[in-house]
Structure 1
Amino acid sequence: MEWQEKGYIQKLRNRYYYFSDQEVDEPFLYYTANELYHPSYVSLESALSRYGFIPEGVFQVTSCTTLKTNSFNTPVGRFTYRHLKPSLFFGYQLEEWNDHRYAMAGPEKTLIDYLYLHHEVKETADLEALRWNTVEINNRISMKTLNSYEAHINSPALSRRLTTLKTYLNATT
């Protein structure tokens, strides 16, 4: 409490603090997202932006978790978490930051997470409306990995959305 009163640390939420002189950059925010609510990994709009798949800036960190859907407003930003069933909690890697690690969805799992959680994406026009950078997606993803994840998940609804995505990606190359 004394450190907080002197301004050395600031409270993020219960039991979570950060040093006031800490640079608040993307890796710090990703690490913080993992720490505030775990298990979780950064995905969805945050990862789409990080990989250059969407043109917009993202003003919150979005993650996937096996816990209930939740969100937190903190002094450093908003953190949003979307629930996935435990069998879908894969496809992320640990990235290094300042002797710490945070979990980030790979490019293929980012696309799958988005399509899995956004049932409204059904046809090519829906994908066009998202304004995804198809050149960057085609350059960064492995179709072999995408197909492997699709087979592992074994969801007919997701497979339909992925087929639409693959058709859309092929049409724009």
Structure 2
Amino acid sequence: MQYIRFKELFKDFTVFSLNEIKSVDSKFHRRRLNEWQERGYIKKIVKGYYVFSETALNENVLFEIANRIYAPSYISFEMAFSFYHLIPEGVYAITSATSRCTHRFKTPAGEFIYRTLKPDLFFGYNIIEYNTNKHFNMASPEKAILDYLYLNSHLKRLDDFESLRINRDILFEQVKEDKLFGFLERFANKSLDKRIKLFWEAIKHD
């Protein structure tokens, strides 16, 4: 396949995989991708996944890439806190929840960190659309809090919760109490129950 034909077929893809290319052209050889990288047409993100060199790697694009290169996954934890403006500082890595093994990719586009949740806890995320026909999976603010505290079980005291520097005003704008505790029931975890209740009381009476 010539590059002009390839570009026409995949021009609407934010990120494309070798498997997707082979589904269009079964005889396509990986060496073509190496040639196109050398010519500056495309960039490799991780093994088997690429973007066009002119693709602007803004936050939305990075979120979609994070979902694609290690699926199933959704953005959660610290990056979701930052997305919802629950914390004041920026986050350097794209943090995600996955039902697969914990993994970390350091790439030219940035660092992608994936933490494992049991398959029955893989819920509570929204499909957020951007541009035209593009989207990424983002934890709801309620689920991001639960995911974070579930996997950071050492956070259990009032001063631990204060160290998170959660913006109280924004939290009460973004987080629905009934939704938070409804999701909490699905975790069926007594330790998390106790810590979330303490966290919520600490935030409410700050």
- The normalised TM-score by structure 2 is 0.81
How many residues in Structure 1 have an aligned counterpart in Structure 2? Answer: 172
Q: Please tell me the root mean square deviation across aligned C-alpha atoms, in Å.
A: 0.9
Of structures 1 and 2, the one with the larger relative CO (CA 8 A, separation 6+) is: 1
C-alpha separation in 2, matches of 1:13 and 1:113: 26
Question: Can you list the C-alpha shifts for 1:76-122, whole angstroms capped at 9, x where unaligned?
Answer: 10000000001110000111134222110001000000110101110
Identity across the alignment (%): 41
Paired amino acid for 2:42: I
C-alpha separation in 2, matches of 1:62 and 1:114: 10
Which of 191, 201, 205 is 1:157 aligned to? 191
1:11 has 2:44 as partner: yes
Counterpart residue number, 1:45: 78
1:127 has 2:154 as partner: no
For structure 1, which runs of at least 5 residues remain unmatched after alignment? none
How far did 1:164 drift? 1.1
1:89 has 2:122 as partner: yes
Paired amino acid for 2:168: T
Counterpart residue number, 2:134: 100
Paired amino acid for 2:195: R
Paired amino acid for 1:148: G
Paired amino acid for 1:34: N
Once structures 1 and 2 are overlaid, which stretch shifts more, 93-102 or 105-114? Answer: 93-102
SS of alignment partner, residue 137 of structure 1: helix
How far did 1:67 drift? 0.4
8 Å CA contact 1:88, 1:153 repeated in 2: yes
Counterpart residue number, 1:109: 143
SS of alignment partner, residue 36 of structure 2: helix
Counterpart residue number, 1:65: 98
How far did 1:152 drift? 1.7
Which structure 1 residue ranges, 4+ long, deviate > 6 Å from structure 2?
Answer: none
C-alpha separation in 1, matches of 2:165 and 2:109: 28
Which of 27, 32, 36 is 2:69 aligned to? 36
How far did 1:130 drift? 1.4
C-alpha separation in 2, matches of 1:121 and 1:83: 18
Question: Can you list the C-alpha shifts for 1:50-87, whole angstroms capped at 9, x where unaligned?
Answer: 10111111111000000010000111100000000011
SS of alignment partner, residue 10 of structure 1: strand
- The normalised TM-score by structure 1 is 0.96
For structure 2, which runs of at least 5 residues remain unmatched after alignment? 1-32
SS of alignment partner, residue 142 of structure 2: helix
Paired amino acid for 1:150: L
Counterpart residue number, 1:140: 174
